Structure 1
Amino acid sequence: MIESMKRWRTQESDAGVAEKLRQALGLSPIAAKVLASRGFTDPEKASAFIGIGQESWHDPFLMKDMDRAVELIHKHIRSGSRIAVYGDYDADGVTSTTVLMKALLSLGADAFYVIPDRFKHGYGPNTDLFRETYERGASLIVTVDNGISGNVQVAAAKEMGMDVIVTDHHEPGEVLPVADAIIHPRHPEGNYPFGELAGVGVVLKVAHALTGEFPADSLIFGAIGTVADLVPLHDENRLIVKAGIGKLRQTSNPAVRALCGVSDVRQQDINEETIGFAFGPRINALGRLGDAEPAVRMFLTDDAAEASLLAAQLNDRNKERQKMVASIADEAIAQIEDTYGDAVPHVLTVAGEGWNPGVVGIVSSRITEKYYRPSIVLALDQEKGIAKGSARSIEGFHMYRELKKNADLVPHFGGHPMAAGLTMPIEHVGNLRENLIRQGEEALTEEDLIPTLDVDVQLTLDEVDIASIESLAELGPYGVGFAKPVYCLPDLSVESSRKIGSMKNHLKLSVSDGANTLDVVGFGLGHLEDELTPDARISLAGDLQINEWNGRKKPQLLLTDLKSDGWQLFDVRGERLLSRWLPSIPDEAVFVAFRKESVRKFRADTGKEIVQAADVDPARSRTLVLLDLPDSLDELEALLGSCAPTRIYAHFHVPESRYFMGIPDRKQFGWYYTFLKQQGSFHVMREGERLAKHKGWSRDTVIFMTKVFFELGFVTMENGLAAVTGNPPKRDLSESETYSGLERRINIEETLLYSPYQELRRVIGSILDAPETAREEQQLWI
């Protein structure tokens, strides 16, 4: 058995609905199944979702205060007064700033932008920075991607004499700022049709209202900000990203081309994953480590050389960010392991001095992914006496609510069920850690602590081909709210498996259903190769892709997880060097020996605890390593029948094999007995070697036959001298314990040690799969 790393939750889709969608929309069977699994039952709604177009844009003036904001901005443009765009330091804030600046500049406005520094000003409106903005001559401040919670700061700006327009998409509080206009898709007094716009989506609506035309050229920034901010890809968000990606692939914008250069991305291949994993992290890196202003400058410039220099700066900062994250993550993991060992608590809280608070959110995500526990990572500032950090959670643990229970310890926090940010006094960190562990134990079950994998569609191999995989692009873009599908391919055989990569930490498989094959790649899953046996039947879950190499295209599954429900047999027979197979044995394995002398030998050789077969604890024996041969199949049956293991490693070491020696036949016994009668007596120890050479036997064969005759009463033995007895009884050779013992030994070696893998599996399977008939089947084989 191979247990999956995650709990698979398979979505059951209606085959009839999928077929109806396929026929009505001309989709591939796989694409139709995906839509059906996502709840689409009406072909018209599915068609509108796939082919979403310009008709889906909502009138920007449906947003509350939009008319007031447009009028106020135009008033300041006409009067020639300065307008400040006050942005944010993440990708959504940077692109929001860019879109509004382009719109204002196109209208001839005297506009400039301001990006707060994460470490100096913090998130959102800052009174000191507002004052600096005022001193630069601003008469109007327009916030983008922030401001809805800046009640105090907005009031201060008003007192300075500035007009203020807030555009934001974050959750509004009970009391709104006293701004001249608040543009928010979920304004408490508004009724805009779509409330999930990113900050840049809100600004696109403002730009549309300001200029009277939809800012199509700014869709490239809209797509970047929307994907990077992880908002649901429905309605206008889906349209922004879908149309924006199309433009990103064709634009001559120097910033986009420069980002492609530093990200090693072909512009025509840009998709939502490019934005999420290549562009977004590089833009965010500036704000995480310091000043994000260069990112806005890069997007606004028309100079290709300047854009390239700025993109290189983003890239360098991202590399610096990656090293910083890796270093802090290593320290955090070491802290967890040193503190808890294997007994990892339900909630993890780690803290360290010198950690950059701009990257602790990424570290928290890594901790949660590694341990599948809610986690909080705090950067300690001893000089100020504060701990500042980020939290990430898992299903079943509402992070915001659980932090709220500790409001006396954490005076400043915000977030939602799956993530939060917080600032607290250092002296309260220990109490918070203890409280959250207790709260986690109350809220989370053991099952909750196993990560989940939502499987959308179960497929057969004959459904997987190039055309079907290419057709899945029609369903994109994928993201939050419409995640990339996960496919399950059940009950396949493994044709080949190997570890790949310079560190051999990746997995390459070829799987088959008997008629069709598929290549499978699992990055970081090389360890699973040690768990696969030649006869394994496995089920796979992952993402279907097209692998293109030297102009050839092949379907491929990018593996997320795999499992196998049957028991497994690992063949390590004949591997005399323990170093070749011992490292692959799981830690929970029980090492079993049938003979006492084997217990001593392997304890010394391996340093492991060796259990004699009769003493094995069935409750702790899911994985067995069978070190030596039993004397009989009865012994093996007794062990396996009581334990019902899911994994068996068969070593079956014998100090000296008897199989190739064979058993002398009756003709040999007859000749030797006649020889003894003619001699009357024969000194076996002194003359046996010469006789063996004469007959082409081994000396051991002569000794063996002599011992059999002795046990049957055919000869007497005294000091190595064999003498034939008078009138010996009529007895069969099998009545000799020596004869029958060797016969059993040869049979057991033939059955367990020298049999082909599949035959050994049948023998063991007869015990594990059908214990009530095991003996009868075993007797047939031996």
Structure 2
Amino acid sequence: MLRSKAKWNFVQGEEHSLPIDDSLSSLTQQLLRQRGIHTKEAAEQFLSPQLQQLHDPMLMNDMDKAVERVKDAISKGERILVFGDYDADGVSSTAVMMETLRELGAEVAYYIPNRFTEGYGPNEEAFRNAKEEDVALIITVDTGIAAHHEAKVAKELGIDLIITDHHEVQESLPEAYAIVHPKCSSSYPFQELAGVGVAFKFAHALLGDFPKHLLDLVVIGTIADLVPLHDENRVLSYYGLQALSRSVRPGFQALRQLCGIEGPLTEEDIGFAIGPRINAVGRLQNASPAVELLLTEDDDEAAYLANQIQELNQERQQIVADIAKEAETMLDAEGDDLPSVIVVAKEGWNQGVLGIVASRLVRRFDRPVIVLTIDPETETAKGSARSIDAFDLFTNCMQIRDLFTHFGGHAQAAGMTLPVENVDTVRAALSQQANEQLHPDDFREVLSIDGTLDLSQVSLDTIDEINQLAPFGMGNPKPLFCIDRSAPAEIRQIGSNLNHLKMKFKDDKNELDAIGFGLGELYTKLAPQSAMTTVGELSINEWNGRKKPQFMMKDIRVDEWQLFDLRGSRHLKKAVTTVPQDNAVAVFFHPVTAEHEWVWEYFDVLQIEDEEMVEELPLDEVDHLILMDLPQSLDRLATLVQNMNPKNIHACYRTDDAAFLKTVPTRDHFKWFYAMLLKRKQLHLEKEGPKLAAHKGWSKDAVEFISNVFFELEFVKIENGLVTLNSNPSKKDLSESALYQSKHEYVNVEQTLYFSSYRQLKSWFDEQMNRVVQAKEEVTNEP
């Protein structure tokens, strides 16, 4: 057996549903139903979004007031400051607003706070500096909804403040001139826009006409900020990806070249290439170069800025790796006593990358994580948090809001500042809340599986059709499918570090290659012939102009017990020492030899010397039963297996002197030997035995075996190697000889356990396992 790493939730579809569109495959129609789409019209709108599906920006609260104030400022020649944020959403929001206001002829500049010296969001000093620069109007983008103090400062300074934001609204709203925020607008139909989406709506309202030329900017923040990709976000990202693919902005062209992106862009290009590079700037320094990259019209400047950003991204990657390694070492030292919510803090950690580190730790430890850097001078801790699906960070942190100096964010991500003395209190409080709210299974990553896949359903056309559901992301995840209980025709490790897994699934007519990046460690935990269930995504692999369907594995489980066949292995120690040591038992039926003394270092060892020891073993399930040698009888092993009911059996035994391969004396052999003694009266085993064996084509051991069986049955006497007949032998059958029975039993043991095929050996163990199940059922059904 192998437990899946993640918790699997199968998305339930409606049974007996009417077809949505006969032109679509049944698989695509199933995916549409699971996304709440049940009519042909709704399917057409989803698969082919239209810009007309976007909502009127004037439905948003304070939009008319904000538009009027900006136009008034432009007409009066007042200076406007766009106050942005340092992530990809904030940077693209700033670029959207700057380009819009410049197009309208405004006297405008932008300002993005330094993460390290100013922290997140608007701040008083920046506002006072703006006043000295004669700024009359400040417009925030992707920030500001928690800026209560700064709003009061702006009012005192005589600066009008327009807040455009999308983050969660706290207990009260700042006293701003206008707040353009979908969550503050009950009449606005969609409340999940990214910060750049809100800025885009504001731009639409200011320009009067739909700003198609800004779609290449709006898609960056929309996808990078992980907002749900449905409703307006789907339309904006759908058309935004097309616009970005065609964009001639020098900054985008330079980024494309650096990232090695060719052809139409996808959401993955933004999520894994463009977004992280834009984010890297604000994580390590002031984010202004990222804004300039998006706005520049000069090719040389774009190339220079893109290279600068590339270097910063490489530096960011190394810093993340170093901090993550430090944090993991600290947490590993705590062993299995980790709290339900991890809070890890250290002086000197780079504040800008702590969100990425937190995400890595969530994946490693399967629980919410807060990562903080400590400033010893101010005695404050500042950092970021990431959560698991089942734990709402924002709601739970708001319950202890008084412990934070600053706090803001979403259900799955947040940022905070707090006194160092409160760190332990926050850890304890959030862990207690998690313990009260969550079940142990909630701490596992959740994979939502759209359906079970048959190999006959997989084709390039089907995959192309499914890809019409893109762009994928939050709220519209890439479909996950399950290949149920199928033994791969091929399984191997690949990659320079053997950290990836490759399989091939086959049936009578179809085959499908499967790749599991980062799943290489499962190789030793999967018996190749096991029927395993895999979860993954369908994709297309293109190589040398040839396209093939491909299954990108995300998780694997094996529901039945597994047999690992290591019989006669020359690399036994290397293979066995990869077996997990927890709840594993190595069994010897004979005294442990020097060759196998190493086993004691890795596993609990059980030496079974006789039948009574097996029968007296307590009934106890083990994860791994490691059989190091052959038993004297099949019954002895059967009793052991039935008592231990193992999830995995490792057959590690070998035989160097196989009885099965030798000539085992039959009754005719015994009959001839006895007749020979009647005629000759005696036989000297040492002097005459080899000649007799050669004459009959037997082994010397066979002659000695027959003699000893006759001796045990009192048919003959053996004195100093001389075999003579008893004058008055007892009447006994050969089967009454323990030596005869033992020999035939051991031959049966070798034939069944060693010289059998994998399928035959698995079948024999299956029989023993089934007896365990039957015994449990009998106990359960007792009156």
Give the TM-score category using the shorter length.
over 0.9
Partner of 1:680: 681
**Which whole-Å CA distance do the structure 1 matches of 2:224 and 2:675 have between them?**
94
For residues 706-739 of structure 1, the C-alpha deviation after alignment (integer angstroms, 9 at most, x for no partner) is 2122122222111222222225345433332222
Contact persistence 1:37–1:457 (CA under 8 A): no
Check if 1:243 corresponds to 2:239: yes
Contact persistence 2:328–2:361 (CA under 8 A): yes
Pairwise CA distance, 1:750 = 0.8
Shifted more, 268-277 versus 419-428: the winner is 419-428
Partner of 2:736: 735
Which of 230, 237, 250 is the matching residue for 2:226?
Answer: 230
The alignment's TM-score, normalised by the length of structure 1, stands at 0.93
Partner of 2:555: 561
Pairwise CA distance, 1:390 = 1.8
RMSD between superposed Cα atoms in Å: 2.4
Contact persistence 2:564–2:648 (CA under 8 A): yes
Pairwise CA distance, 1:223 = 0.4
* Map 1:495-574 → 2, pairs under 5 A: 495-574=489-568
Which of 101, 106, 115 is the matching residue for 1:109?
Answer: 106
Partner of 2:255: 259
**Which whole-Å CA distance do the structure 1 matches of 2:78 and 2:157 have between them?**
15
**Cα distance 1:299–1:396, how it changes in 2: closer, same or farther (>3 A)?**
closer
Pairwise CA distance, 1:603 = 4.5
Partner of 1:633: 634
Q: How many residues align?
A: 768
Contact persistence 1:492–1:513 (CA under 8 A): no
Contact persistence 1:603–1:609 (CA under 8 A): no
Equivalent residue letter for 2:319: M
Structure 1 counterpart SS, 2:2: coil
Partner of 1:712: 713
Structure 2 counterpart SS, 1:628: coil
Shifted more, 602-611 versus 307-316: the winner is 602-611
Pairwise CA distance, 1:349 = 1.6
Equivalent residue letter for 2:38: T
Contact persistence 1:87–1:145 (CA under 8 A): yes
Contact persistence 2:60–2:182 (CA under 8 A): yes
Partner of 1:305: 300
**Which whole-Å CA distance do the structure 2 matches of 1:174 and 1:429 have between them?**
23
Pairwise CA distance, 1:54 = 1.8
Structure 2 counterpart SS, 1:368: helix
Partner of 1:135: 132
**Cα distance 1:721–1:175, how it changes in 2: closer, same or farther (>3 A)?**
closer
Structure 2 counterpart SS, 1:478: coil
Partner of 2:7: 7
Check if 1:345 corresponds to 2:339: yes
Check if 1:217 corresponds to 2:218: no
Shifted more, 675-684 versus 321-330: the winner is 675-684
Contact persistence 1:598–1:628 (CA under 8 A): no
Pairwise CA distance, 1:156 = 2.2
Which of 65, 75, 78 is the matching residue for 1:68?
Answer: 65
Contact persistence 2:591–2:607 (CA under 8 A): no
Pairwise CA distance, 1:609 = 2.3
**Cα distance 1:90–1:593, how it changes in 2: closer, same or farther (>3 A)?**
closer
* Map 1:373-772 → 2, pairs under 5 A: 373-593=367-587, 595-598=589-592, 602-607=596-601, 608-612=603-607, 614=614, 616-654=617-655, 656-770=657-771
Which of 352, 359, 364 is the matching residue for 2:353?
Answer: 359
**Which whole-Å CA distance do the structure 2 matches of 1:285 and 1:437 have between them?**
31
**Cα distance 1:516–1:606, how it changes in 2: closer, same or farther (>3 A)?**
farther
Equivalent residue letter for 2:516: G
Partner of 2:778: none
Equivalent residue letter for 2:8: W
Shifted more, 687-696 versus 749-758: the winner is 687-696
Structure 1 counterpart SS, 2:550: strand
Partner of 2:331: 336
Structure 1 counterpart SS, 2:97: helix
Pairwise CA distance, 1:479 = 1.4
**Which whole-Å CA distance do the structure 2 matches of 1:132 and 1:263 have between them?**
38
**Cα distance 1:31–1:372, how it changes in 2: closer, same or farther (>3 A)?**
same
**Which whole-Å CA distance do the structure 2 matches of 1:270 and 1:123 have between them?**
31
Shifted more, 473-482 versus 752-761: the winner is 473-482
Structure 2 counterpart SS, 1:231: coil
Pairwise CA distance, 1:686 = 4.2
Check if 1:207 corresponds to 2:196: no
Pairwise CA distance, 1:97 = 1.0
**Cα distance 1:400–1:605, how it changes in 2: closer, same or farther (>3 A)?**
closer
Pairwise CA distance, 1:488 = 1.6
The alignment's TM-score, normalised by the length of structure 2, stands at 0.93
Contact persistence 1:29–1:468 (CA under 8 A): no
> Identity rate of aligned residues, in percent?
43
Shifted more, 683-692 versus 636-645: the winner is 683-692
**Cα distance 1:477–1:528, how it changes in 2: closer, same or farther (>3 A)?**
same
**Which whole-Å CA distance do the structure 2 matches of 1:686 and 1:391 have between them?**
86
**Which whole-Å CA distance do the structure 2 matches of 1:356 and 1:208 have between them?**
38
Check if 1:85 corresponds to 2:82: yes
**Which whole-Å CA distance do the structure 1 matches of 2:154 and 2:405 have between them?**
25
**Which whole-Å CA distance do the structure 2 matches of 1:696 and 1:533 have between them?**
42
Q: Which runs of 5+ in 1 are unaligned?
A: 775-782
**Which whole-Å CA distance do the structure 2 matches of 1:468 and 1:773 have between them?**
44
Pairwise CA distance, 1:66 = 2.5
Equivalent residue letter for 1:636: L
Pairwise CA distance, 1:655 = 6.1
Structure 2 counterpart SS, 1:20: coil
Partner of 1:21: 20
**Which whole-Å CA distance do the structure 2 matches of 1:604 and 1:114 have between them?**
66
Check if 1:276 corresponds to 2:271: yes
**Which whole-Å CA distance do the structure 2 matches of 1:714 and 1:253 have between them?**
103
**Which whole-Å CA distance do the structure 1 matches of 2:754 and 2:722 have between them?**
36
Contact persistence 2:572–2:652 (CA under 8 A): no
**Which whole-Å CA distance do the structure 2 matches of 1:223 and 1:566 have between them?**
46
Shifted more, 101-110 versus 411-420: the winner is 411-420
Partner of 1:165: 162
Pairwise CA distance, 1:327 = 0.9
Pairwise CA distance, 1:687 = 4.0
Equivalent residue letter for 1:755: S
Structure 1 counterpart SS, 2:747: helix
Structure 2 counterpart SS, 1:544: strand
* Map 1:286-305 → 2, pairs under 5 A: 286-305=281-300
For residues 423-464 of structure 1, the C-alpha deviation after alignment (integer angstroms, 9 at most, x for no partner) is 122123233333433443333222223332111222222111
Contact persistence 2:167–2:409 (CA under 8 A): no
Pairwise CA distance, 1:605 = 4.7
**Which whole-Å CA distance do the structure 1 matches of 2:447 and 2:55 have between them?**
35
**Cα distance 1:83–1:450, how it changes in 2: closer, same or farther (>3 A)?**
closer
Shifted more, 548-557 versus 387-396: the winner is 387-396
Shifted more, 87-96 versus 716-725: the winner is 716-725
Partner of 1:33: 30
**Cα distance 1:392–1:618, how it changes in 2: closer, same or farther (>3 A)?**
farther
